[in-house]
Amino acid sequence: MDTCLFCKIIAGEIPSACVYQDEKTFAFRDISPMAPTHVLVVPKQHVTGMDGIDELDDATLAACLRTCKRVAEMEKLTGGFRTISNCGPDAAQSVRHLHFHVLGGKQLSEKLD
């Protein structure tokens, strides 16, 4: 999608700190990290968010979750990690391209809101 920030990052038109990519997914460091490890995992195919996943085939959706796990392993998050996907205004989603935050490397808050 021409105007999507994360599509531009995937295409390399905007620089990012990529930590992993494969045929279906792209993982890069969040520009405003909220933990020692804060990586965003996105499908290369543009969909708006969790509300758009019916446009993805199951293999792509599964690949996103597998990439989250792979990133946690690469980052050595042996104590655990959190995976979050914000969807829509009530969840404060700011970039309308499906993404999973992978957070870890410290004791995270019990609060999710």
97 is catalytic: no
Residue tagged 């690949």 (tokens): 63
- If we measure between CA atoms, which residue out of 112, 22, 113, 31 comes closest to residue 74? 22
Contacting residue, 31, 55, 62, 76, with ligand DGP by CB under 6 A: 31
Residue 100: which of 113, 73, 74, 81 has the closest Cα?
81
- 37 counts as binding ligand DGP under rule CB under 6 A: no
For ligand DGP, give the closer residue by CB, 72 or 103.
Answer: 103
Specify the stretch interacting with ligand DGP by CB under 6 A; choose among 27-35, 51-59, 74-82, 105-113.
27-35
